[in-house]
Amino acid sequence: MSRVQRIGVFVCHCGSNIAATVDVAKVAEMALLEPGVVHAEEYQYMCSEAGQAKIAEAVKDKGLTGIVVCSCSPRMHETTFRNAAERAGLNPFMVEIANIREHCSWIHKDKTEATKKAVILARAAIAKVNLNAPLKEGESRVTKRALVIGGGIAGIQTALDIAEAGYPVDIVEKTPSIGGRMSQLDKTFPTLDCSACILTPKMVEASAHENIRIHTYSEVEQVSGFVGDFTVDIRKKARSVNMEKCTGCGVCSEKCPAKRNASEFNRGLNNRSAIYTPFAQAIPNVPVIDRENCIKFKTGKCGICAKVCQAGAVDYEQKDEIITEKYGAIVAATGFDTIKLDDFDEYAYSQSKDVITSLELERVMNAAGPTGGHLERLSDGKEPKNIVFIQCVGSRDVTCRGKGYCSKICCMYTAKHAMLIRDKYPDVNVAVFYIDVRTPGKNFDEFYRRAAEEYGVNYVKGQVGKVAPQPDGSLLVQGVDLLDNKQIRTKADMVVLATAIEPEAGVRKIATMLTASIDNNNFLTEAHPKLRPVESPTAGVFLSGVCQGPKDIPETVAQAGAAAVKAIGLLAKDKLLTNPCTAKADELLCNGCSACENVCPYGAITYESREVNDHGIREVRRIAAVNNALCQGCGACTVTCPSGAMDLQGFSNRQIIAEVDAICR
Partner 1 sequence: MSIEAKHKFKPKIVAFCCNWCSYAGADLAGSSRLGYPADVKIIRVPCSCRVNPMFILRAFEKGADGVILCGCHPGDCHYSTGNYYARRRMTLLFSMLDFLGVENGRTRVEWVSAAEGVKFSTTMNEFVEKVASLGENVRLGDLRCRN
Radius of gyration of the chain (CA): 31
The arrangement of strands across the sheet holding 486-492 comes to 464-469, 475-481, 486-492
Q: How far is the CB of 551 from partner 1 (least distance, A)?
A: 17
By beta-carbon proximity to partner 1, the closer residue of 470 and 598 is: 598
Q: How far is the CB of 525 from partner 1 (least distance, A)?
A: 5
Q: How far is the CB of 6 from partner 1 (least distance, A)?
A: 24
Residue type at position 458: N
For binding to partner 1 (CB under 8 A), which residues are involved? 73-75, 99, 101-104, 106-110, 113-114, 116-117, 120-121, 124, 508, 511-512, 515, 517-520, 525, 537-538, 581, 599, 601, 632-636, 638-640, 648, 651, 653, 656-657, 659-661, 663-665
By beta-carbon proximity to partner 1, the closer residue of 270 and 640 is: 640
| Of 160, 148, 184, 142, the residue nearest 510 (C-alpha) | 148
By beta-carbon proximity to partner 1, the closer residue of 241 and 516 is: 516
Q: How far is the CB of 78 from partner 1 (least distance, A)?
A: 10
By beta-carbon proximity to partner 1, the closer residue of 189 and 226 is: 226
Whether the Cβ atoms of residue 60 and residue 90 lie closer than 8 Å to each other: no
- 215: helix, coil or strand? strand
Q: How far is the CB of 588 from partner 1 (least distance, A)?
A: 20
By beta-carbon proximity to partner 1, the closer residue of 111 and 610 is: 111
Q: How far is the CB of 407 from partner 1 (least distance, A)?
A: 18
DSSP 590: -
Whether the Cβ atoms of residue 616 and residue 588 lie closer than 8 Å to each other: no
Q: How far is the CB of 69 from partner 1 (least distance, A)?
A: 14
DSSP 526: P
Q: How far is the CB of 622 from partner 1 (least distance, A)?
A: 24
Whether the Cβ atoms of residue 177 and residue 280 lie closer than 8 Å to each other: no
- 610: helix, coil or strand? strand
Residue type at position 529: P
Q: Could you tell me whether strands 7-12 and 66-71 are parallel, antiparallel, or unpaired per DSSP bridges?
A: parallel
Q: How far is the CB of 235 from partner 1 (least distance, A)?
A: 19
Residue type at position 332: A
By beta-carbon proximity to partner 1, the closer residue of 394 and 633 is: 633
Cα–Cα dist 154/284, whole Å: 18
Other CB atoms within a 10 A radius of the CB of residue 575 amount to 11
Give the start-end residues of each E strand in 25-165: 37-43, 66-71, 95-99, 138-141, 146-149
Q: How far is the CB of 512 from partner 1 (least distance, A)?
A: 5
Alpha carbon dihedral 576, 581, 586, 591, in 10-degree steps, equals: -80
Q: How far is the CB of 647 from partner 1 (least distance, A)?
A: 10
By beta-carbon proximity to partner 1, the closer residue of 137 and 376 is: 137
By beta-carbon proximity to partner 1, the closer residue of 429 and 538 is: 538
By beta-carbon proximity to partner 1, the closer residue of 173 and 526 is: 526
| Of 309, 132, 135, 149, the residue nearest 223 (C-alpha) | 149
Q: What is the 3-state secondary structure (H, E, C) of 355-385?
A: EEEHHHHHHHHCCCCCCCCCCCCCCCCCCCC
Positive or negative: CA dihedral 316, 322, 325, 331: positive
Instruction: Count how many Cα atoms sit within 13 Å of the Cα of residue 222 in the half-sphere of its side chain.
Output: 7
Alpha carbon dihedral 534, 536, 540, 543, in 10-degree steps, equals: -40
By beta-carbon proximity to partner 1, the closer residue of 575 and 654 is: 654
Cα–Cα dist 504/337, whole Å: 5
By beta-carbon proximity to partner 1, the closer residue of 100 and 568 is: 100
Cα–Cα dist 529/527, whole Å: 7
By beta-carbon proximity to partner 1, the closer residue of 257 and 603 is: 603
Q: How far is the CB of 320 from partner 1 (least distance, A)?
A: 24
Q: How far is the CB of 22 from partner 1 (least distance, A)?
A: 11
Distances (CA, A) of 112 to 19, 32, 102, 109, 342: 12, 19, 17, 9, 53
Instruction: Count how many Cα atoms sit within 13 Å of the Cα of residue 18 in the half-sphere of its side chain.
Output: 30
In this structure, the chain runs to a length of: 665
